[in-house]
Amino acid sequence: MPGHRATPVGGPVALVGPTASGKSALALAAARARPGVELVSVDSMAVYRGMDIGTDKPTPAERAAVPYHLLDLVEPSEEFTVQRFQAAADAALADIAARGGRALLVGGTGLYLRAVVDRLRIPGRWPALSAALDAEAGRPGGTARLHAELARLDPAAAARIEPGNRRRVVRALEVTRGSGRPFSSFGPGLEAYPPTPVVLVGLRLDPARHDARIEARFTGLLERGLLEEVRALAAAPGGLARTARQALGYRELLAHLEEGVPLETAVAEALRRTRAFARRQWAWFRRDPRIRWLDPGGDLLAQLLSVLDGARCGGAGMED
């Protein structure tokens, strides 16, 4: 990027945490303070072009100030997979390193982060099979029956998946049937936390304050034109793909526009689902023993800069 001189400062750092925790603003401040730091988005919805307001993408001025990667990769009418993200992230990280820069990954999509940080071996996809399994799971007792089948075909995978977790049961059976190999044979999966060259730091969740932040943020997105953005995306040729339609805020506003759900009801549902999502993110990241948590009572920027400057993660001002 013109005017942004790269300075070799070490390996990648990842800043993680729940949605609306302030990760993006903190990462931007750090990148502005340290020439050579480039931001790598780890957000499963920011990959879609045109989904700008709802994903709170950086503004044109912010993109001009520091380099950003992995934004606007595909049209919202396209399906996007973790395999595609992994490949794009690998290319971005290699490019940053080749130019002597340092990558600061920032985002809250845990699976995408693990795919990059832990080099997950990701099985292929069998869409028709997945759709058939999902339809079966939607019938009364369907998920339990599929879990029982998984227990026969791949006891190790079934033992790691809650019988009521429809999405994970369907995915495990899709891979087991489609590949002819047990789902568990693709590696230890998400239960293992191996050593990694990526330094992981995180922002903690304070539920009482976080709920207010989520509400204030969503109100701000609406004021910036989120409803109009969703309307335009839905009307565009191709519309929104199944995955894009599930984005926080977009799904609820689509229900308002397409199904007549009252706007007040749609907004309330968006807030409810975002709060629940933030807690799931917190539970996901909290299980990872490699993450060192920034001290919420201290200077967050100073702590992050000390990591970027090569300070030992876990030192003063940080929490295990």
Q: What is the pLDDT of residue 315?
A: 38
Q: What is the pLDDT of residue 208?
A: 82
Residues with Cβ within 8 Å of 283's Cβ and at least 6 positions away in sequence, in order, are none
How big is the chain by its Cα radius of gyration, in Å? Answer: 20
- The predicted model scores a pTM of 0.83
Query: Would you state the structure tokens that stand for residue 109, as one six-digit string?
Result: 């999509």
pLDDT along the chain (320 residues), means of 10: 44 95 96 96 97 96 96 96 94 95 96 92 89 94 96 93 90 95 81 91 91 96 98 96 94 98 98 95 94 95 94 44
Q: How far apart are CA 66 and CA 79, in angstroms?
A: 28
DSSP letter for each residue of 130-181: HHHHHHHHTSTTHHHHHHHHHHHH-HHHHHHS-TT-HHHHHHHHHHHHHHSS
Query: Would you state the structure tokens that stand for residue 270, as one six-digit string?
Result: 């968006």
- Please report, for residues 37, 44, 47, 178, 221, the alpha-carbon distance to residue 55 in angstroms, rounded to integers and kept in the order given: 22, 10, 10, 33, 9
Query: Would you state the structure tokens that stand for residue 203, as one six-digit string?
Result: 């922002």
Q: What is the pLDDT of residue 125?
A: 87
Domains and CATH numbers, the chain: 13-121+197-206+284-319 (3.40.50.300), 127-185 (1.10.20.140), 207-282 (1.10.287.890)
Q: What is the pLDDT of residue 186?
A: 82
Q: Say what angle helices 127-137 and 142-153 make with each other, to 10 degrees.
A: 130
Query: Would you state the structure tokens that stand for residue 214, as one six-digit string?
Result: 């989520």
